[in-house]
Structure 1
Amino acid sequence: ILLAEQQRIVAVEAVVKATRVAEASAAALRIGAAVVAAYEAEKSRHGLLDYDDLIGHTGNLLAGVGAGWVLYKLDGGLDHILVDEAQDTSPAQWEVIRLLSDEFFAGDGAREALDGDSAPGGRTIFAVGDEKQSIYSFQGADPASFAAMRNYFRSRAQAAGRNWQDVSLRQSFRSVPEVLNAVDQVFARALAREGLSSEPGEIAHMPVRTAAPGRVEIWPTVVPEEVETPNPWDAPLDTPAPRSSHAVLADRIVTQISNWLEQEEILTPQNRPIVPDDILILVRRRNDFVEAVVRKLKQCNIPVAGTDRMVLTDQMAVMDLIAAGQFALMPEDDLTLATLLRSPFVGMSEDDLMRLAADRSAQRLWHELVRRQQEDAVFADAHALLSRLLTMADFVPPFEFFATLLGPMQGRRRLLSRLGPDASDPIDEFLSQALQYGRLGPPSLQGFLHWVGAGRTEIKRDLEQGGGAVRVMTVHAAKGLEANIVFLPDCCALPDGKFDPRLLPVPDEGLHVWPVKKDLDDAVSAAARTAYAQAREAEYRRLLYVAMTRARDWLYIGGYESRQKRKDGCWYNLVCDGLLGEAPAAHVTEVPLPWGETGWRIEGELAAA
């Protein structure tokens, strides 16, 4: 009786949870529908389309009323379809491709050449992609769609009696055997290979550069320093703060790079000394480590291209430009004026600023500078430049204001002289923003500064070519790129689901549910949450595959741990289990590292001439 009552209560609780999820999902969808309607109305009012509209409207045009006429007009001039990076194609994009190509396999629309498909005149669809490199799910990419569409086109071609070729490209012209063998061995294990590809069998690469000796090196992870309980009688400065693990690893990587450059280490496969352009540091996330390694490279005078993506208003050059605009609007703001005086635009030293500001007779710093402008050349030059800014502020639009400051007033030259060439991109983007703002309506300096500050514009920089500098990029941004030496330092953290959608997609149902929070999950939302987590973890492993295969010659793997320690399934464990586990890779040797620890290295030998 008790067991039956328990089952009854559990069933009632399941129904209650499902009802709550249904009610919450309906409420969320009603709100979402209102937001989407307002968004669509705003786009219509401005006559704009977003990226999803381009795909969706095209699909509707090819599938809706009147599609026959559209397809007829297209059919006459469409003989070949090429789909590149097919693994990153979304289901909506595949639907457009399907609609465009359906006539390729139907009756007269096939227009097959007299001598078969291989002869000129045959209609073809050609798709190239690699499921193992599908890492853009946040843009709608679905590796399962790649396999499904391959099966769809195979069946259509065979049913129409057309030639079908499914070609596996296993040869690699990029990486040396040691790197490719390491990739194969890491993903030979079932845990690492799960979700990598729908194709059965092991991952196997055939290197073309068989004579080039490569290197794969694994460093011990950096663990956080133990924090001693401070003596309550000690002053705060008496106890040194522990260094973060990511800062320690950044120092170690830069130390290794610095040693290579100072000692003119030979990059054996290239038979020449290592240069900064050879080196690519790949991370999974833009975080404190990225800032630490870029800062350390600059401190060691090693050329660094900076990060691949940056927030415009966080850049020092842009901060100085904004300070110039804010001063022109309110010269009585002493803090902004002091910032501007110390900036490259004015270049006043700390001593000169102290001499001007300390014990001043005027209440405001600007009034003191006006009063003492004839005292010496430093004050006179500063007053002349700032006075010109004040004069322009009332009569010149924002773009002309900042263009004059950067051009005729030598502002760009001064910024680049102090901040280096990395400042060029944010300066150019800032000017582009000023020009764009001027097209939106009557321009004002105050309006522009508010607009650019609220926008939090991100700059995506082109680091395809190193330009003689070390590159620091995310794996997503490095897709399609390569480097002779690749560091993978971000190998200990697992994706934590922090950015998972609140509306959970229900697999194979075409709908979303909102359980509000995990504790309120019913059976459907719990299954949806689990499926999404599994897909996220599969993409995490595909990201490791992409990261490892960016290396041409040398691959270095390390990591920094948090206080929670690293978990099973992280990149570092996957690599160590594959290369140093029960069946270690051939030719693994221990090597001393510059900071006193021991690493593990797999290195090829130079082929005899």
Structure 2
Amino acid sequence: VMPDLEAAQRATASFRAIALRRSYRSKDVILDGVNRLFAGVYGTDYSADEYLTPAPERGADTTGRGEGPCIELLEPAENTEGAEGAPPDREARARAEMNAVAERLRLLVDGPAEWRPAFRFSGAAGRFEPVGEANRFRYADILVLLRSTTRQPLLEQALHRYGIPYRVGGRGRGLFARQEATDLLLLLKLLTHPQDSLALMGFLRSPWAGLADETLLQLGWSGAGFDETVFRRRVFEGLESGAALELPEGSAELERLAGARALIRKYGAQVDHRPTAAIVRDAIRETGYDAVLAATFRGEQRLANLDKLLRWIEQTERSQARLAAETAAEMERLVSEPPEQPEAALLDPDQNVVTLMTIHGAKGLTAGVVVVPELGSSPTGASPWALMEDGPDERTGILHVKTERVDRTPVTTPGYEQAVERAGRVREAETKNLFYVALTRARDLVILSGDPGTRKPAPWLAAVREFLGEPAGGGAPLLRRRAYPEVTGAVREAGLSAGRASRLRTLPDGWPAPARLFDAAEEAYAAPAGPTPILRYPATTLSAYLHDPPTFTPTAEEAGEEPTPARTPYEDDDDAAAFGTAGHEMLEQLALSGWPGEATALLTALGAARTLDESARGDLLRRVGRAARHLAAETRGAEVATEWPFALKLEHNSVVVIVDGTMDLLITRGGRRRVVDYKFTEEAPERLAARYGLQLNLYREAMARRDSIPAESIAASILAIRREGIDVVEIPPEPGCAARAVEAAQGLYKLRGQE
């Protein structure tokens, strides 16, 4: 839009260009760095009119007064190694980077003078003044700009460890992702669905009741293990003494349990007889829940969030006339998938907190110190499955699509590759503009960080190193590079190490102290764990990798692609893939027609068979004919489904894996089910079972979840279609297949993560 508008304006007779080059935001050492950096990034597009100049009337010409470089780059030390001498994986690198950022912020605010710029913009004076007691850096000066929220939990954890207060601003997923929202949801779910045992357990161990995990275990202990029925009976029916819980009579745990029981009964009886928000407010007052929030890390922010959540409950039930259970259901949806709704704003100007937000929301903002981490990561989404472009007129568009054939080879609509190229150029331009926005928000200091591991540096980090790394023509340096160990050492020398500053504060005078709830609150508000990536692999890949990891070639990893098995000696020849694909397609068509049909005509019509020679075609016809006759007898009187696609979610040890695949044949007869997978192979039955056992068990698990039946009740077999006959290879159930699949996914992920 803007280039078109400029072209139209230039075409007018009265056009005159006025370059707005003066910056009233930043000091000269930052502007010099921005000009040099983006002259390299934009090339000739960064014309003389784009060069920014400082405002002398604001004292922004600080170089002559002794100011040093005010653009910093935090980076790992060279030859960084992780466990057992291997390079650290992405998660470890991200965690180390966020810790370095938090340490640098502690040094800026509380460290020695050499870790601060010489000049800071004074709002009172309206100009850049020397840093001193009357002009100090505060946490409120700091704005952290993230490219995405993926690594935000790691940053929050690091800030928490170093006692740095913060708030989530902008459009980040803040409010409903906070612990306060989860706590309110636990209360609402328990009052509206008292039969929900998970909500009951969460409520009892939260600050609402503050019971220890050991007490919850004893409440449900039946002598042989944890029993949900025993647990609920003891919670709701009560205990006259602590004997059954191995606690002394009158102990604080029993008192809290009795209080929680009374609270549930009291407010559960009021549901849908009083406004939901009024019930929640009364529960807060009775338990002192807000006192717990006030005493925890970021207490003021949590209290503000609590008030905003209560107002959301009021507005929801009033404007939408919802019952308490409907409000709870809506809140559960928002907590499960937090919308872009920020935390409550702290309107007190004296709130001394760091602000976290994404770069996309920062345009037009100004901050004393701007931190831009994760320069080492590249944006994703370079090859979408669908692209929409403008058509020949404004009413029409052109849709480009990328999908897969049955054999998983890609297929695209005409013009797809060219559309991806054009979209890539647009995305590249947008990325440059986003980078420019990030680096032009700061008055006093810009802190950058990034660690690409052993991979080629991402564009932003590469640009900083190339254009700011060495002074141009022997001039003054514009970039100060600091290694993580240097920052960590300075933090230790200054006595600012993690742990000391992150202790809980004491309660203000006059606040209620609800017994030992603070111990539970400290546990409930522990720093969030770093995000575990969701992995996704085909069932065939997981099975083959786990059977024989050395058969995976490293060249695919270097290309950034999913690992694929190398060709193994027992594959027939170079036409094995086309042979198998054609056979699968023929059997699919025969199954859809009830197994009759002319196989020769099918073979002629199939594209996958066109590359086969006459000998291979004859072999394929004979094999498919035998398989069709066998399957016709096997499926007589049964329901048949072919090529059934699925996506299966597995979780093990906090790792989530999405497994996808397509089952060749599903047979259902009299309530009994069988999964059949075709293999055109001469491989021995025992090797087939070993190689594809996990694959078939994952198929079995997917079908079991679809139909809500035990996996072991489903039969699974490989139909080995050979040159001279057919073998049915039965695959026994494997109860631990989910854990083994996750193990395989982690192994594949490490191939890509250990870079």
Shorter-normalised TM range? 0.5 to 0.7
C-alpha deviation, 1:516, in angstroms:
1.9
| Cα deviations by residue, 1:314-360 (Å, 9 ceiling, x for unpaired) | 32111111111121133344332221122112223445545545569
1:554 positional shift: 1.5
Equivalences for residues 75-224 of structure 1 within 5 A: 145-153=1-9, 155=11, 158=13, 166-189=17-40, 192-193=41-42, 200-201=47-48, 203-208=50-55, 209-211=60-62, 213=67, 215-220=70-75
For residues 336 and 397 of structure 1, what CA distance do their matches in structure 2 show? 21
1:571: how far off? 0.5
CA contact (8 A) 1:312 1:318 kept: yes
Counting only pairs closer than 5 Å after superposition, residues 173-572 of structure 1 correspond to structure 2 as 173-189=24-40, 192-193=41-42, 200-201=47-48, 203-208=50-55, 209-211=60-62, 213=67, 215-220=70-75, 225=81, 244-265=92-113, 266-270=116-120, 271-272=131-132, 273-288=136-151, 290-306=152-168, 308=170, 309-310=172-173, 312-350=175-213, 352-354=215-217, 356-358=219-221, 363-369=229-235, 370-372=237-239, 376=250, 377-407=255-285, 410-418=288-296, 420-439=299-318, 441-455=320-334, 456=337, 457-461=339-343, 467-497=351-381, 502-506=386-390, 510=394, 511-517=396-402, 520-521=411-412, 524-561=415-452, 564-567=455-458, 570-572=459-461
- The verdict on how the C-alpha distance between 1:336 and 1:522 changes in structure 2, with shifts beyond 3 A counting, is closer
Residue in 2 aligned with 1:577?
466
Counterpart amino acid of residue 211 in structure 2? M
8 Å CA contact 1:579–1:585 kept in 2: the answer is no
> Aligned partners of 1:463, 1:531: CA distance in 2, in Å?
43
The answer for the alignment partner of 1:605 in structure 2 is none
Distance 1:516 1:167, change over 3 A: same
Task: State the Cα distance separating 1:203 from its structure 2 match.
Answer: 3.3
Q: Distance in 2 between matches of 1:454 and 1:547?
A: 33
| Amino-acid identity (%) | 21
**Per-residue Cα deviation, 1:473-507 (whole angstroms, up to 9, x for no partner):** 21112222222222221212232226968232147
Does the 8 A contact of 1:345 with 1:415 survive in 2?
A: no
Offset of residue 532 of structure 1: 1.4
**Residues in 2 aligned to 1:527 and 1:185: alpha-carbon distance in whole angstroms:** 33
Contact between 1:282 and 1:487, CA under 8 Å: does it hold in 2? Answer: yes
Alpha-carbon spacing, 1:581–1:210, altered in 2? closer, same or farther (3 Å): closer
The structure-2 alpha-carbon separation of the partners of 1:417 and 1:359, relative to structure 1 and needing over 3 Å to count, comes to: farther
The one-character-per-residue Cα deviations of 1:60-82 (angstroms, maximum 9, x if unpaired) are xxxxxxxxxxxxxxxxxxxxxxx
TM-score after normalising by structure 1: 0.62
Name which one, 1 or 2, has greater alpha-carbon Rg: 2
User: Does structure 1 conserve the Cα–Cα contact (< 8 Å) formed by 2:175 and 2:305?
Assistant: yes
Superposed CA offset, 1:113-150 (max 9, x none) = xxxxxxxxxxxxxxxxxxxxxxxxxxxxxxxx123224
Distance 2:240 2:49 in 1: 77
In 1, Cα distance between the equivalents of 2:355 and 2:31?
22
The alpha-carbon deviation at position 454 of structure 1 amounts to 2.9
| Cα 1:193/1:386, change in 2 over 3 Å | same
Q: Distance in 2 between matches of 1:592 and 1:172?
A: 27
Aligned-pair CA distance for 1:279: 2.1
TM-score (norm 2): 0.51
Q: Alignment partner of 2:427: what SS?
A: helix
Unaligned ranges ≥5, structure 2: 121-130, 242-248, 404-409, 489-755
1:476 partner SS: helix
Considering Cα pairs closer than 8 Å and 6+ residues apart, tell me whether 1 or 2 has the greater RCO. Answer: 1
Aligned partners of 1:520 and 1:178: how far apart in 2? 52
Looking at structure 2, the residues matched to 413 and 258 of structure 1 have their Cα atoms a distance apart, in angstroms, of 28
1: CA distance, partners of 2:390 / 2:358? 30
Structure 1 unaligned regions, length at least 5:
1-144, 231-239, 599-609
Deviations 1:347-383 (A, max 9, x none): 2344554554556999443432342277533333223
How many residues align? The count is 434
CA deviations over 1:379-420 (Å, ceiling 9, x no partner):
332233222222222523433333333456543343343462
CA contact (8 A) 2:372 2:438 kept: yes
Shift of 1:207: 0.6
Are 1:495 and 1:537, in contact at CA under 8 Å, matched by a contact in 2? Answer: no
**Shift of residue 442, structure 1, vs aligned partner:** 4.5
Instruction: Kindly indicate whether the alpha-carbon contact (under 8 Å) linking 1:267 and 1:274 is maintained by their aligned counterparts in 2.
Output: no
Distance 1:180 1:438 in 2: 51
Looking at structure 2, the residues matched to 204 and 241 of structure 1 have their Cα atoms a distance apart, in angstroms, of 40
Question: Does the 8 Å contact 2:301/2:346 carry over to 1?
Answer: no
Shift of residue 177, structure 1, vs aligned partner: 0.9
Moved more, 354-363 or 503-512: 354-363
